[in-house]
Amino acid sequence: MSISLPNYGFDSPDFVQSDTFAEFQKEYDIVLKRRYERWKRVINQGDLVRGHQLKRFCRKGIPSEFRSHVWMNLSGADKEMKENPNVYKSASGLQPAKEFNTTILADLPRTFPENVNFSAAAGLQNKRHSLQRVLQAFAITFPKIGYCQGLNYVAATILLVLDGPAEEIEEKTFWLLHALTHNIVPAYYISGMVDVQVDCLVFEELLRQKVPSVYKVLKEANVDCIVLATKWFICLFADVVPMETVLRIFDCLFYEGDKILFRACIALVKLHLDTIVKCHLFPDVVLTFRNICKDKQTLYCHEFLQAMFKLSGSLPRSRIQRLREKCRVKVMQTMDELNQREAEYRTQLELQRQKQNQVDHPEPDITPAEDNMIGEQQEEEAESEEIGTGDLSKTTCNSNGELAPAPSLVRSTVGLAVR
């Protein structure tokens, strides 16, 4: 059996020279063959047993031939799918709430447009249709999340990796998406994306502690990590780093959980430290952080994964949790301030609107004759009250002895006539 790096429908990357990519493929194929033989023995033993060996194997990469099986098993998606056999089928093909469906349909052509599997050229095998069905079914089944931008890249990445008939791939993707959003990463995809902002600030605090020179650059350029790293977290690095590197991160994510995302963030920064510290201005920092995601350092996924665990150092989950609690307070305070400013802004807009409306539609001027008429009617009303006519005090009589409108209504009628 020939073991080599799949391209998953992507062309050769344009961020490195073709000979560099060819060299990477040649070197990585050797790694893949070695990992395939070792994983084959593990798979043949039966059920995957969590432990030091399996954790180490996931960190060293899961061969593409086994990824579907291992991801489904490690994430718990396989168990959920078996316990809920009709959930995806009943939701597939239905349309979610308009607010979600509109965004899903808009994001479909933006998702990996350069990939042949998501292009019109793929014909009936076009995975864009599968992506649409998965995202719509997910939004219907889990309305608390519905749809959030970023899920399209995560789901599309999974669709490219899994094997089997189209319907089976879609259902597995649906349950892997459920495992990620409900069990593995924080509530990144809930409206407001508070947890994404929290983890961006946790990353910023980790930079302050572990890479102070970069933290200093960010502060001096007035850049925060919410600007730099939101896509890293919301897409789980899909469409951020090269495809095989994304899959290697996913291999670890399904086993170890969200802590892996911080390791990837820190590795990206430390591997490009010399480039980042040369930046001084806001646009330079933003552009540099975008460029460091796709270069030779991130292409060589095996070396990048080694750097993730070596360069990030000790990163206990208890430490991350403490930082999250601290950063959540900051995020909520900021959101409260923004909401207050927005409320004040809306109030000012309404006052300006009312003021402009008074200028555009001024109250009509009352002529002397009309003023006398109103005055006489007011006197009549006062006299009727003195006589004590009860409810009839609210009416007057016309020359024919018929009930006429009360003075307040007359005043309105006069006003309408003037207009």
User: Domain 194-240+255-333 falls in which CATH fold?
Assistant: Cyclin A; domain 1 (1.10.472)
Question: For position 115, what pLDDT does the model report?
Answer: 95
Where is pLDDT greater, at 114 or 367?
A: 114
Long-range contacts of 270-276 (CB under 8 A, 24+ apart): 270/211, 270/307, 270/311, 270/312, 271/297, 271/298, 271/304, 271/307, 271/311, 272/297, 273/211, 273/213, 273/214, 276/214, 276/217
**Of 51-65, 282-296, 364-378, minimum mean pLDDT range:** 364-378
- pLDDT beyond 60 at 390: no
Q: What is the mean pLDDT of the segment spanning 341-348?
A: 88
Tens-place pLDDT, residues 26-62? 999 999 999 999 999 999 998 899 999 999 999 999 9
- Rounded to two decimals, the pTM is 0.82
Most confident of 331-345, 354-368, 388-402: 331-345
Greater confidence (61 vs 359) lies with: 61
Alpha carbon distance, N-terminus to C-terminus of the chain: 90
**Residue ranges per structural domain of the chain:** 49-184, 194-240+255-333
Q: Which amino acid is at 219?
A: K
Fold of 49-184: Helicase, Ruva Protein; domain 3 (1.10.8)
pLDDT at 401 over 50: no
* Helices 243-256 + 64-75 axis angle, to 10: 30
- What is the arithmetic mean of pLDDT over 371-393? 53
Query: pLDDT-derived band of residue 1, with 50, 70 and 90 as boundaries?
Result: low
